[in-house]
Amino acid sequence: IGNDINTIGPDGLDGALRRITDRAVDLLQVDVCLVLLRSEEMGCWIVEAASDDWHDRLYKTVMLWEEFPVSVQAFESKQPTFGDYLRSDIRPEVVRRNLIGESMLAVPLLSQGVPFGVLVLLQERRRGEQDWNVRLAKGFADAAAIAIANARLYEAAHKKEKGLESRLRRLEYLAEMLAHDLKAP
């Protein structure tokens, strides 16, 4: 399953992350799965992918860092973190998130041990810690982290390749000019 869902195909990273979130909803029996990436420049979360109909509503939405306190805790501790009774938290900065679910599991996305986002699983009804399949959730988080890392590596290699091609063209032009100057009296 892992190879099928996190392989970056013609639909790119967005397609791989959509397959991961959709499959996570099915196998973990949750209502919503989100991939949130931390934007250091803005100090917020960016919804990189969401499951099912939520993707169209939330894709590339910017959310306050404080809007997901359970995710912040998972991000900072680098450990899966649970949240229950989310709707009882009436702080203004978390009200929008509480419309999605009552229970939450946030699993950090890590690249070489450094967190860069979280996989968030939300359940409409209350769900105790023992009811979550943390091991499988970690597997989905790892798949998402690998897909994102692969896409970033591909993008960096492609950018480097373009830069090398540009340098090669400049060197060829310079070689032509030098050859022309050497032939001239």
Residue 39, token pair as written in the block: 């934007």
Query: With contact defined as beta carbons under 8 Å apart, do 133 and 26 qualify?
Result: no
CB half-sphere exposure, 9, CA atoms < 13 A: 11
The model's pLDDT over 139-183, given as tens digits with 9 standing for 90+, comes to 888 888 888 887 767 666 667 777 777 788 888 878 878 877 777
Q: In one letter, which amino acid is 45? A: W
State yes or no: pLDDT of 76 exceeds 90. yes
CA distance 10 to 4: 13
The model's pLDDT over 79-122, given as tens digits with 9 standing for 90+, comes to 999 988 776 777 666 656 555 678 889 999 998 899 999 999 98
The residue among 139 and 130 whose pLDDT is bigger is 139
Pick from 37, 38, 11, 7: which is nearest to 20 by CA? 7
Q: What is the pLDDT of residue 73?
A: 93
Q: What is the pLDDT of residue 92?
A: 66
Q: List Cβ neighbours of 115 (8 Å cut-off, separation of 6 or more).
A: 38, 75, 76, 78, 108, 109
Q: What is the pLDDT of residue 12?
A: 72
Q: In one letter, which amino acid is 86? A: L
Q: In one letter, which amino acid is 103? A: S
Task: Give, in order, the Cα–Cα distances in Å from 83 to each of 64, 68, 87.
Answer: 17, 10, 10
11 confidence band (pLDDT: 50, 70, 90): low
Pick from 54, 72, 148, 65: which is nearest to 110 by CA? 148
**Element holding 37 (H helix, E strand):** strand 32-39
Query: With contact defined as beta carbons under 8 Å apart, do 3 and 147 qualify?
Result: no
Query: With contact defined as beta carbons under 8 Å apart, do 130 and 103 qualify?
Result: no
Q: What is the pLDDT of residue 99?
A: 59
**Averaging pLDDT over each range in 44-53, 123-132, 156-165, which range is the top one?**
44-53
Percent of the chain predicted with pLDDT > 70: 82
Query: With contact defined as beta carbons under 8 Å apart, do 28 and 119 qualify?
Result: no
Provide the 10 A C-beta neighbour count for residue 32: 22
